[in-house]
Amino acid sequence: MYNVLIAEDSKPILRNIKGLLESSGLPVRVAATAATGEEALDAFGRHAIDILLTDIRMPKMDGLTLIERAKRLHPKLKAVLISGYNDFEYTRKAINLQVTDYLLKPVERSQLLEVMERILAQLREAQEDLASAFQGIVEERRCRSLNPGPEFFRNPKVVFIIREQPFTAGLDRPDEAYAAVCADLPSPAWSMPTVNGERLLVADASWLDPADDRSALLENVRLRLAAAGIQASLIGCLSPTEWNRIPEGYAEAARCLEEWQTVFKPVALDFALQRHYPHPGFEDVDRIGGVLASLIEQMNKDRFMLMLSEQLVKWERANVRLAELKRFFGKLAASFAALLEEGEEAGSAWLFGKREELFRQPSYKQFGSELLVWAEQCFDRAKSLNRKSGAELFERMDGYLRTNLYANVSIPDLVRLFHVSSSYISRIIKRFSGQTFVHYYTEMKINEARKLLETRPEMKIRDISDALCFADQHYFSKVFKEHVGVSPLEYKQRGIKRGERG
């Protein structure tokens, strides 16, 4: 429902317009009426007005002055002039004031409805733009279902990005909890769930006083959340801004919160100061991660488990940042990935897929316990995958390559045949042959080419190149010389000469 203010010094005209609007069936409500411009301005202080209908000529303050001053309070206000005059100067000034439309006295029902429907269409269009403006931030389906109403678009906003604390049991009905917080704020407020699982809390900026202590305001919002059962950190964008400019700073603000949110004590950050926050480093977590990575490489399970247990306790006392904890897990997973050489795709998925499960634990203690269990499982898997299994796989791949020298076998072919990952194949061949796959397989083919040149001198070099699936004769000759030291032709001629001497 959109609020209308009628400013008209003629009581019969005012009653007529009010009656026409109230009987129109349109989604409008006459929130206030005024006989002078001053009375109308006072009404703006008491009501949230979307549409102003005002006579041009009124005592004390004319309609044009009223529009000009009203738009300072509400820049998005839709203003309609009511006039019985065709005065060019008034019309020119009205255009400069971005008057939405005109009504000529006497105001007729059809004329009024036509003007109001145009204005309502403009207001609805702005409301529909909400979904596109917040695309990628708020799920479009949820954004449309929020239907914040016309009051959302009236005044400048302040914004809070809220991220619930890790390792805290979530509420069964969080929407209701956020709604309670919104209702408790001293101005209209709306809660929007983001695609990243956060909340955008958007409130009218009218309750802010420039002299207010922003830190105290932010902490007050955090305490309201806690009182509603929501343990969360937040970053506040407390500079009043239009609703359609909110998405501009969202990514930067969310990144700042990502960097600074701690695990145990919620933080309340001021976005205006984010550029002055020192960029948080990861020196400690990288140092500790490096030590533990070495223990993983050495398969020193006992020492690793002891150090990890001690570190989890230290971080609890130091109130570690969530970003540090996530980075630390990433380093451990990468180290185990290099150690676990079974190469099965399921193995990699299990290693890194554990992260989401770990960080959804209801408590830090449970997180630590599950992390230790996961690390122990990684060591057990690595132990079961001994060198013998790698040797057996190498022998099988070597045999396959030797029986397929007259084909063009690639690593993806071996992946499909042996059901292991490409990276594991590369590591196994490198470990047992000392060469890359390409160099190893190419050397096999060159050795086969040497045999053909020695035993079947009647074969043309081009035919040997084609048979062994080289791209062309020139490339074959180049590769042959790199491996043997002479060209295929020279090698063939030497073999002929040796045969003649024999």
Averaged in consecutive runs of 10 residues, what is the pLDDT profile of the chain (502 residues)?
A: 92 93 92 93 87 88 88 85 69 66 86 92 76 78 67 84 85 75 85 87 84 87 89 91 85 89 92 73 88 88 95 91 92 84 54 83 93 91 66 90 94 87 84 92 94 90 93 93 93 71 50
Amino acid (one-letter) located at 93: K
Residue with tokens 């996530």: 326
Phi/psi at 181 (5° precision): -65, -45
- Contact residues for 486 (Cβ-Cβ < 8 A; gap 6+): 494
Cα(213)–Cα(386) distance, integer angstroms: 63
Residue with tokens 């700073």: 249
Length of the chain: 502
Contact 340, 333 (CB under 8 A): no
Quote the pLDDT of residue 128: 67
- Contact residues for 480 (Cβ-Cβ < 8 A; gap 6+): 446, 449, 487, 488, 491
Quote the pLDDT of residue 346: 46
DSSP at 298: T
Cα(327)–Cα(9) distance, integer angstroms: 69
Angle between helices 345-358 and 322-339 (to 10 degrees): 160
Residue 303 has a CB neighbour count (10 Å cut-off) of 13
Quote the pLDDT of residue 343: 46
Asked if the peptide bond before residue 12 counts as cis, ω within 30 degrees of 0, the response is no
User: Residue 275 is encoded by which pair of tokens?
Assistant: 């550029």
Cα(459)–Cα(10) distance, integer angstroms: 112
- Give the closest residue to 79 by CA, choosing from 36, 38, 122, 110: 122
Cα(305)–Cα(422) distance, integer angstroms: 31
Compute the radius of gyration of the chain from its Cα atoms.
38
Contact 133, 41 (CB under 8 A): no
H-state helical runs in 208-297: 214-227, 246-260, 283-297
User: Residue 224 is encoded by which pair of tokens?
Assistant: 């309201």
Quote the pLDDT of residue 344: 47
- Contact residues for 240 (Cβ-Cβ < 8 A; gap 6+): 156, 157, 158, 205, 208
- Contact residues for 403 (Cβ-Cβ < 8 A; gap 6+): none
